[in-house]
Amino acid sequence: MPLKLPPLNSLRAFEAAARSGSYVAAAEELGVSAAAISQHIRKLEDYFGKELFLRMNNRVILTDAGHAIFAGTAGALQAISDTSVDLMSDRSRSRLVISAIESLAEKWLVPQLGDFCRAQPGFRFDLRVEPDPVDFARHNIDLRVGYGASAYPDHHVQPLAQDAVQPMCSPAYLQANPAIRHLGLEAVPESDLLHTSWGPSFGSNPTWRSWFKKVGLRIPSDSGGFQVGRSSLVLDLAREGLGAALAQRMMAARDLARGHLVTLSDVTLPLGHPYCLVYPQGKAGRRDVMALVGWLTRAAALETDALPGEVDR
How buried is 56 (Cβ within 10 angstroms: 0-12 exposed, 13-18 middle, 19+ buried)? exposed
For residues 147 and 273, give the distance between their C-alpha atoms in angstroms, rounded to a whole number. Answer: 7
- DSSP code of residue 183: H
The total domain count for the chain is 3
Q: What is the pLDDT of residue 109?
A: 96
Q: What is the pLDDT of residue 312?
A: 43
Residue type at position 184: G
Co-location of 287 and 146 in the same domain? yes
Co-location of 142 and 185 in the same domain? no
| pLDDT, tens only, 277-302 | 999 988 887 889 999 999 999 999 98
Co-location of 131 and 192 in the same domain? no
Give a yes or no: residue 313 inside a domain. no
Q: What is the pLDDT of residue 286?
A: 87
Residues contacting residue 192 through CB under 8 Å, at least 6 positions apart: 173, 177, 225, 242, 243, 244
Phi, psi at 267, each rounded to 5° = -75, 130
Cα 100 off chain centre by: 6
End residue of a domain, out of 53, 73, 89 = 89
* pTM: predicted TM-score of the whole model, two decimal places: 0.67
Q: What is the pLDDT of residue 229?
A: 83
Co-location of 256 and 195 in the same domain? yes
Co-location of 236 and 292 in the same domain? no
CATH of the domain at 26: 1.10.10.10
Q: What is the pLDDT of residue 268?
A: 94
Q: What is the pLDDT of residue 218?
A: 84
Q: What is the pLDDT of residue 245?
A: 96
C-beta of residue 44 within 8 angstroms of C-beta of residue 14: yes
Q: What is the pLDDT of residue 200?
A: 55
Co-location of 154 and 220 in the same domain? no
Low-confidence ranges of the chain (pLDDT < 50): 90-93, 310-313
The residue segments making up the domain with residue 254 are 164-270
Q: What is the pLDDT of residue 272?
A: 85
Q: What is the pLDDT of residue 303?
A: 80
Give a yes or no: residue 133 inside a domain. yes
Q: What is the pLDDT of residue 94?
A: 58
Residues contacting residue 257 through CB under 8 Å, at least 6 positions apart: 306
The string over 10-44, giving b where at least 16 C-beta atoms fall within 10 Å of a residue's C-beta and e elsewhere, is: bbbbbbbbbbbbbbebbbbbbebeeebbbebbebb
End residue of a domain, out of 89, 117, 149 = 89
Co-location of 168 and 264 in the same domain? yes
Co-location of 231 and 295 in the same domain? no
Co-location of 125 and 81 in the same domain? no
CATH of the domain at 127: 3.40.190.10
Q: What is the pLDDT of residue 310?
A: 46
Measured CA to CA in angstroms, residue 152 lies from 48, 158, 175, 241 at distances of: 26, 12, 46, 39
Co-location of 123 and 136 in the same domain? yes
Give a yes or no: residue 217 inside a domain. yes
